[in-house]
Amino acid sequence: MRATNGTSTQNGEAAVNGHAANGHSVAAPSAGVKGRQDKADLSGVFGGFSADASQEEKDSCSVDLIQGDIADPAVFNGIFERYITQGGIYAVIHVAALKAVGESGELPLLYYQTNVSATVNLMQSMLKYKCLNLVYSSSATVYGTPETIPIPETSPVQPESVYGRSKGMCEDIIKDVCHAERSFNAVGLRYFNPAGAHPSGTMGEDPRGKPGNLLPLLAAIAVGRYSQDGLKVFGDDYPTHDGTCVRDYLHVMDLAKGHVLSLDALEKAEIFQNCGKTGNYRAFNLGHGKGQSVLDMIEAMRKASGYDYQYSIVGRRMGDVPDLTADPTLAERELGFIATEDLESMCRDLWRWQSSHPNGYDEPAATNGVSAQ
């Protein structure tokens, strides 16, 4: 998926390329924001297959792409109506969101409308059509500035940005629905920092405007899509090993596997056995368990691309916290999730994508030397 005006989507690729579980159809709403009108691609409804499907079954899998506005409840109702005659939709992977921390502080109402109101619209349609299984894309930003690093799921939810608060609100809404509707099952995945691209180099992140995330920005600078003066490091006085913010980066292919495992887990009663009166909702961290600083990432992309990055240190950015590193123990124990791709493969795969698609999905290829916005 790709987004406009510098706002990246919340990893639509993970849902689109992931496998549907247990032979059921899975709807995966994924926001590809079109300008500032909250228009979104709702991608794509899977003809499902299990995680251990044969190659023949995978090759025969069909994906329907439905375009619509996630702010319009009629869009969701229409999708569910469409699949009634095919047995209905078993589960939803909800990854539709705006996700730039800095921008969220400038456009709070847009973030609450797109991230929170649209989630309410979706869940109303799910209940109406008795689709009772949800995998929700949350975020590690719900932890704010955590007391414990690496961060366990037991850490307080205390977000410090509009984006983080929008994700925390959605988790609360989902938990309330699970409490009220005892047959509703949901898993919330608290992403840390997804990175990389498909190893084939044919699919990758293509944000519209200046990338809001570090690795896509580094890749775009290296191919000349943005000028060198576009690279700024926000703060070098944090309590980390080099003074810059530390984040836990996770390859998008590992992230995709996390969604597959979560779909499978929805049918396993044991993951909900201790939920008690709160209803069937569980939250899991998806991360690598090892943090990398901003300067670490710049060096890793320098090695992958061969580009000599120059950067400037500026003041801290509102909403940024010093360290967001996951404790992935719970996801490993209960979902079977293990991140196997390392930082080198993330940067290598990202560079393979960007160097072969210097202008993203657009044609013809971009001319080097485009100024940063």
Q: Which amino acid is at 311?
A: Y
Q: Is the Cβ–Cβ distance between 370 and 227 less than 8 Å?
A: yes
One of 143, 163, 226, 307 is an active-site residue; which one?
Answer: 163
d(CA 134, CA 126): 9
Is the peptide bond between 207 and the residue preceding it cis, with omega within 30 degrees of 0? no
Burial class (CB in 10 A: 0-12, 13-18, 19+), 332: middle
Please report the beta strands in the chain, taking only residues with DSSP state E, as ranges in sequence order. Answer: 26-27, 39-46, 63-69, 91-94, 133-139, 185-191, 193-195, 232-234, 246-247, 249-251, 280-286, 292-293, 312-314, 323-324
Taking alpha carbons only, the member of 112, 136, 108, 111 closest to residue 122 is 136
d(CA 94, CA 273): 24
Q: How many CB atoms lie within 10 A of CB 133?
A: 24
Q: Is the Cβ–Cβ distance between 197 and 349 less than 8 Å?
A: yes
Q: Which amino acid is at 352?
A: R
Q: How many CB atoms lie within 10 A of CB 156?
A: 10
3-state secondary structure of 246: strand
163 belongs to the catalytic site: yes
Q: Is the Cβ–Cβ distance between 73 and 79 less than 8 Å?
A: no
Q: Show which residues are catalytic.
A: 163
